[in-house]
Structure 1
Amino acid sequence: MRISEVIAAKANHETITITPDASVRDLVALLGEHNIGAAVVSSDGTTVSGIVSERDVVRHLVGNDALLGARVSEIMTTQVSTCGPADSLDEVRATMTEGRFRHLPVVDDGHLVGVISIGDVVKSHIDQVEFERDQLDSYVHQT
């Protein structure tokens, strides 16, 4: 299965981004509003400048009561691993597991086209395994 298929199967195709100069308070509101765990940081909505997650907020919040007024650029990850629409689900699963990433931006020809979460990867894998099980079950019971 390819990442493009995983993106196509998602109920919501909207890719949520935030600008680097937005406040962490704005980020928290955005994550809550869209019920997501991370947002791609982008100045123009199509290029990836970074990624910022709820984990980043929590890590930086300890001992820093002023964090909500800080800029997203102060807490975002700038070395961002990405994947492409043609990448296989297995490749992305390995990348996410090895890097301990929960979210990967999907980039096609330098442009952001989506975000894959570990939940998307697991759901797609389960769907694939269930389909194979059903096919085998059907084959076994045909006789």
Structure 2
Amino acid sequence: MATVAEILRSKSGSEVYRVAPTDSVLHALRLMADKEVGALMVLDGEKIAGIFTERDYARKVALVGRSSGDTPVSEIMTRAVRFVHPEQTTEACMALMTEHRLRHLPVVDGERLVGLVSIGDLVKQMISQQQFVIAQMEQYITGGW
């Protein structure tokens, strides 16, 4: 079983993109588009204040007719942030994401934000593990040991 730490090491871009609670939603959307990500951490200094996702925008701005330029991220971000630790397994992350219908999980080591894993990161890791097991089984069956 792979751990969150292994996933973070294997990611090509492991930087966690962030905004401040006072930043406008428009600023956050531009950053998300520029970095091609679906979520941003909202940090007040170094403290996690929330997470801002495409879902937050769609449900709390676009659907209710708010202005992206006039709305601060703090008004629509998700405040109850679920997170994982580097030593947790991909299976534990998938269970948490499935149970709470999440697409992104911040990774916290102690009090420090060290990464962000997406459902795509987890699926990619699980596929890689399955391909390895299949290759090992094929070698065993064909006598390639």
Whole-Å separation in 1 of the counterparts to 2:79 and 2:16 = 18
Post-superposition Cα deviations, 1:100-121, rounded to whole Å, max 9, x if no partner, equal: 0000000000110000000001
Whole-Å separation in 1 of the counterparts to 2:141 and 2:57 = 51
Equivalent position of 1:56 in the other structure: 56
Give the unaligned 5+ runs of structure 2.
none
Whole-Å separation in 2 of the counterparts to 1:30 and 1:49 = 18
Cα displacement (A) at 1:96: 0.4
Cα displacement (A) at 1:48: 1.4
Whole-Å separation in 1 of the counterparts to 2:142 and 2:87 = 35
Whole-Å separation in 2 of the counterparts to 1:117 and 1:24 = 21
Whole-Å separation in 2 of the counterparts to 1:48 and 1:63 = 26
1:8-19 alignment to 2 at 5 Å?
Answer: 8-19=9-20
Using structure 2 for the length normalisation, give the TM-score: 0.94
Equivalent position of 2:113 in the other structure: 112
Whole-Å separation in 1 of the counterparts to 2:66 and 2:44 = 26
1:26-65 alignment to 2 at 5 Å?
Answer: 26-44=27-45, 46-60=46-60, 61-65=62-66
Whole-Å separation in 2 of the counterparts to 1:129 and 1:26 = 40
Corresponding residue pairs, total: 142
Matched, 1:74 2:75: yes
Letter paired with 1:51: I
- Structure 1 SS opposite 2:115: strand
Whole-Å separation in 1 of the counterparts to 2:96 and 2:18 = 22
Name the Cα RMSD after superposition.
1.1
Q: Percent identity?
A: 35
Whole-Å separation in 1 of the counterparts to 2:50 and 2:21 = 8
| Cα gap change, 1:33 to 1:73, in 2 (>3 Å) | same
Cα displacement (A) at 1:43: 1.7
Letter paired with 2:88: D
Letter paired with 1:106: V
Whole-Å separation in 2 of the counterparts to 1:71 and 1:33 = 19
